[in-house]
Structure 1
């Protein structure tokens, strides 16, 4: 259990090296139950590396990760999933020829009872029944649960991937660019689904380059630059200009810095 006000997931001074390159240089991160926290930064800021550390894909070289206040070191993504941490990747990792219910239980299929289960026979009816409930709870509408996901719209496929994560996550879900390449209507539906997930008490970590979207759906925004957290902002009190400034470092300089740095020997 997490005490009131205590972070659900936290990174403290996380370091990750790839040869001579330090992708993370003492990065911090904080996420609380039931909130949507956006993780943003320019290309090369270390977002993907930090998410991979927090979701068990990579082991940190330094620092620590805490889950519900206790230090944790995931042995891999499956270990993170067992502890309630799921990830929805940008490519969705769906099986296009399988239907929505089969994708919901992909890798965690339900088996028939008795001898048939011991022989590995799938309980497709149970999976379809559970899928109907899972989709309904998130407000996901699919006209035909038996249709392969390849025939669904981009927004519907994204919703299937989110529902799969929600079905098994009870703590944290990472979503990597969940609305990339979606139309306006589909984007709105996916963002509504994100809020529904947070309303269930699950923490949603949103990785996105879409600043208006980040401000519209997030409770807080954490900004990475050069492998470190440089800002933790409340979305309601933040502007796009402030986010861009934190990402690029321009807010670190006084407004008259360019003028004061000029000398007569240098061309303007």
Structure 2
């Protein structure tokens, strides 16, 4: 099932066309197409094994498809590594986010790109400016009253995700891929992550948010991509579905089975 043409008429920043990824004889993704537009949140939902993690790996440069293509600003591109993806403005916030726990928040924010002052050979870190920037950018995504000099180990799970999103915003990402964290979170911590997602969208980024929760998806999503068995089972907008509809579809009820059945009937080779 697919939606009508995009009403805004905006061209995708990043697009997948007919992407297939195989592990041996198993197709983890099968002819998946997806368009990510600036200022829009696309939520990806599906059960375990539906292909969500493989999709993240493709977008982040960890996995190369065997079929199909990726287009950045309408031009074909091959992402051979996460470093190359980042250099092209595609930032990924990983499910199991790694930080350096004994380093400060501002150190984790900059990760080798710290501001300096003075000229060589007397150049040195500008700690004051680094703390000011880190604190300001964290507040931008909803984390206020934070001491940037505290160890990163003091951050809650939601704050760690917000830190990674704030960093991507500051360093000029155009596409933000967020793989929902597996760490247990309180409602307040999840609210921080969702607030950061909205901040990224409002800053004009094209956001892909992978989640298992239709409730969270419907709070922030503009579009919803439903995956089942590595295939696109639904490509919907907020105008297509309300929360009840989305919850029923994600639960794998009769509607999702019907969508998948129609897809396979129309494309038996998938």
TM-score when normalising by structure 1 = 0.84
> Secondary structure in 1 aligned to 2:102?
coil
Does residue 153 of structure 1 match 2:134?
no
Deviating beyond 6 angstroms after TM superposition, the runs of 4 or more aligned structure 1 residues are: none
Match of 1:64 in 2: 69
Question: Match for 2:219 among 216, 219, 222?
Answer: 216
Does residue 127 of structure 1 match 2:130?
yes
Does residue 19 of structure 1 match 2:24?
yes
CA distance in 2, matches of 1:117, 1:22: 56
Residues 236/217 of structure 1: CA separation in 2 closer, same or farther (3 Å cut) = farther
Residues 25/200 of structure 1: CA separation in 2 closer, same or farther (3 Å cut) = same
Gaps of 5+ in 2: 1-7, 259-270
Match of 2:178 in 1: 175
Match of 1:251 in 2: 255
**Aligned residues of 1:111 and 1:117 also touching (Cα < 8 A):** no
- What's the offset of the Cα at 1:178? 4.6
Match of 1:10 in 2: 15
Matches within 5 A, 1:22-171: 22-116=27-121, 122-171=125-174
> Secondary structure in 1 aligned to 2:101?
coil
**Aligned residues of 1:225 and 1:247 also touching (Cα < 8 A):** no
- What's the offset of the Cα at 1:130? 2.2
Residues 131/143 of structure 1: CA separation in 2 closer, same or farther (3 Å cut) = closer
Gaps of 5+ in 1: 255-268
Does residue 203 of structure 1 match 2:206?
yes
- What's the offset of the Cα at 1:60? 1.2
- What's the offset of the Cα at 1:223? 1.0
**Aligned residues of 1:142 and 1:156 also touching (Cα < 8 A):** no
Match of 1:261 in 2: none
Residues 169/85 of structure 1: CA separation in 2 closer, same or farther (3 Å cut) = farther
> Secondary structure in 1 aligned to 2:142?
coil
**Aligned residues of 1:95 and 1:103 also touching (Cα < 8 A):** yes
CA distance in 2, matches of 1:234, 1:4: 15
> Secondary structure in 2 aligned to 1:17?
strand
- What's the offset of the Cα at 1:112? 4.6
TM-score when normalising by structure 2 = 0.84
**Aligned residues of 2:28 and 2:230 also touching (Cα < 8 A):** yes
- What's the offset of the Cα at 1:253? 5.7
Please say which structure displays the higher CA radius of gyration.
1
Residues 45/117 of structure 1: CA separation in 2 closer, same or farther (3 Å cut) = farther
**Aligned residues of 2:135 and 2:146 also touching (Cα < 8 A):** no
- What's the offset of the Cα at 1:145? 1.4
Between Structure 1 and Structure 2, how many residues are aligned?
251
| Greater Cα shift, 47-56 or 230-239 | 230-239
Give the alignment's Cα RMSD to 1 decimal: 2.4
CA offsets 1:143-201 (integer angstroms, 9 cap, x no match): 32111011122332222122122222431111111585211122223212211110010
